[in-house]
Structure 1
């Protein structure tokens, strides 16, 4: 067996161990898949599973996390990556180009099985045992007061807690009466580009990314040729519902089957690899914007260990939605919401574009914050 194959198999075994441990609730806090990859007390067990060469590759080939810029303070900080994300990335990108190609199909099948397994597990009453460890892992105690149900013990399952609702007062919408403003669709780490070409130059490096593939509809893609793109990445610790970035009428909703690859920036930014956004499971909503009549596409993209993308009851074709209205929820894992605007529809906020291009860095955002305005 080659060193690459051994590393891949060991990473797969480690991921399987993580998800299997989720079924052994008393041990949930000991080997917690939510902990950052540098959480030595939780992940010393990895040394018993991963060969030394594989551990070294994980450390040198990929960073321990990502830098983000806080929009309110302008400060740049480092966010550690959860261990399950790093294992998934390792399986995707370890070895030569030929070996990667052989591994992608194996990884696709593995992540699909693991995501579906965790979806089932986190829908059981027993999964409530994971709520407190999750809160502690991400220091979410202070944010509980923002939730419609602030008591963690009141949630029926872990997935119920993961997709928890937030009080409207906790996320005020910027200038709600201004129909020409666009806003962030989620609590997220956000990048924004005036054109798709800039997005592929600075951020989306996977081979084969096109709007036609992303939307699975060449005619629809033509409507956004030369347009702007906003990419909102939700980390596991974030409030995991997404909201309308503009007001409008739902014209269509299309679910697209796909994979469960990680949407971490290091996967998106990896040159020449598979294009995660066009490969992953996703749902495309097309809105007709109220103030201009222009189309706006909102793409909810699933990710590693995300089993379900679910729209709120009543959000369907023909529904009128207002900017800031909650549209749906992701159940367990990291996720992404992509918003597409036609050419000339929006002038994106200067600071978001600057962070995305000059700094090549995501901006920490909240639901309802401004992302731009229609000229």
Structure 2
């Protein structure tokens, strides 16, 4: 997302994404679906990403070409910010992430249209979002999409000096840049020699909760969220029992982020289970909305890791999202392989996406600053390799993982 400093963000109220705030002619879900479709289609020919799906909400009044595709919304954008605050780790500062226009429209379809509302050509919200997500993935897999890379880098202030391939002309497609690799050593692992360490799995906005119940109290408000539904297992299954009362880390990747994900622990690679689902936005305003089961409704892929320090299984759940292309495993596809903290497990093709990691009860103690921020609640910006917690001593004794 495009960021705004605290002073600028405070100059206008934050609009809580309610359909009744939209211009009268745009309140029909079918009209919003048509706008979103027009933005996606425009990304096929538009060189500047700010004039299609990546139009920052706060900049809409100054983007007449994109405003013409979404008539009336520029007036709302002039009066309100849309987005959320993120904490900068190690400081008292926050920055405001301005929501991309496409995300705002997709959220409107969910909040106003409902799951089964018939929209374009008698299609439901689910089918519209899935169709547009697949279409955007195809657009960004085409060679012509490479023309949008420079404007994407500029829009999101992406540091090209840390890329394994800093020459933007060498990327054959937009998606190839989106799941770009970094230089070796660009994301060092904190306290790499400490066997108790647990690190961030991604460049992301992070929330952590010592128990699932706390995650549901402060952050995940979907009525049907539970460990069994997240993992796609029966409530009385061995997996459900193993993760009852587990600790939860939620790594949300914004479009600007490096989109490869890494192991948070020293572990052995286990089985992967794919679960079909929807393409809802994973923006906090959707996750925090009662009644919308984003994490358990969306398409996802579950990797089981056997934690070297404790001998326990950790569930590493990659969650797809609106306009996401796919979830692709690299190191995570190598069954039986040993990985170290920070080793690559896979990547997301185009879209903002999320990792949900479940640690069995009593396995981990999260870093205190992350727990404090998550209880506000506010996400904390972290990068791959940064510390997020430590393995508990008792768990290591039980796993015979003492150093």
Distance 1:244 1:4, change over 3 A: farther
Residues 25-69 of structure 1 deviation map (CA, whole Å, 9 limit, x = unaligned)? 45x4562321311212564456545565x7778899x95111000
Distance 1:305 1:16, change over 3 A: same
Q: Structure 2: 5+ residue runs without aligned partners?
A: 1-19, 393-403
1:368 to 382, 385, 397: 385
Measure the CA separation in 2 of the matches of 1:164 and 1:103: 37
Structure-to-structure mapping, 1:1-375, within 5 angstroms:
7-26=28-47, 28-29=48-49, 31-40=51-60, 43-45=63-65, 48=68, 50=70, 52=72, 64-94=82-112, 100-103=114-117, 106-140=124-158, 143-218=159-234, 219=237, 220-271=239-290, 273-312=291-330, 315-357=333-375, 359-375=376-392
Residues 100-135 of structure 1 deviation map (CA, whole Å, 9 limit, x = unaligned)? 243387121011111111111111111101101111
What is the root-mean-square deviation of aligned Cα atoms in Å? 2.2
Please give the secondary structure, in 1, of the residue aligned with 2:216.
helix
TM-score (norm 1): 0.91
Report the Cα offset of residue 312 of structure 1: 1.2
Report the Cα offset of residue 321 of structure 1: 1.2
Distance 1:80 1:294, change over 3 A: same
Report the Cα offset of residue 4 of structure 1: 9.2
Residues 146-182 of structure 1 deviation map (CA, whole Å, 9 limit, x = unaligned)? 1100111110110000000012311110111112111
Measure the CA separation in 2 of the matches of 1:135 and 1:348: 33
For these two proteins, the number of residue pairs brought into alignment is: 363
Measure the CA separation in 2 of the matches of 1:156 and 1:46: 26
Q: Structure 1: 5+ residue runs without aligned partners?
A: none
Measure the CA separation in 2 of the matches of 1:268 and 1:42: 30
Please give the secondary structure, in 2, of the residue aligned with 1:18.
helix
More displaced 10-residue stretch of structure 1: 310-319 or 362-371: 310-319
Measure the CA separation in 2 of the matches of 1:315 and 1:47: 43
Report the Cα offset of residue 139 of structure 1: 1.6
**Runs of 4+ off more than 6 Å:** 2-5, 54-60
Q: Is the 8 A contact 1:180 1:373 kept in 2?
A: yes
Q: Is the 8 A contact 1:355 1:361 kept in 2?
A: yes
Measure the CA separation in 1 of the matches of 2:317 and 2:251: 10
Please give the secondary structure, in 1, of the residue aligned with 2:51.
coil
Q: Is the 8 A contact 2:50 2:155 kept in 1?
A: no
Please give the secondary structure, in 2, of the residue aligned with 1:296.
strand
Measure the CA separation in 2 of the matches of 1:91 and 1:46: 19
Report the Cα offset of residue 374 of structure 1: 1.3
Report the Cα offset of residue 250 of structure 1: 1.3
Please give the secondary structure, in 1, of the residue aligned with 2:58.
coil
Q: Is the 8 A contact 1:10 1:49 kept in 2?
A: no
Please give the secondary structure, in 2, of the residue aligned with 1:103.
coil
Q: Is the 8 A contact 2:116 2:126 kept in 1?
A: no
Q: Is the 8 A contact 2:272 2:333 kept in 1?
A: no
Measure the CA separation in 2 of the matches of 1:293 and 1:371: 19
Measure the CA separation in 2 of the matches of 1:4 and 1:290: 57
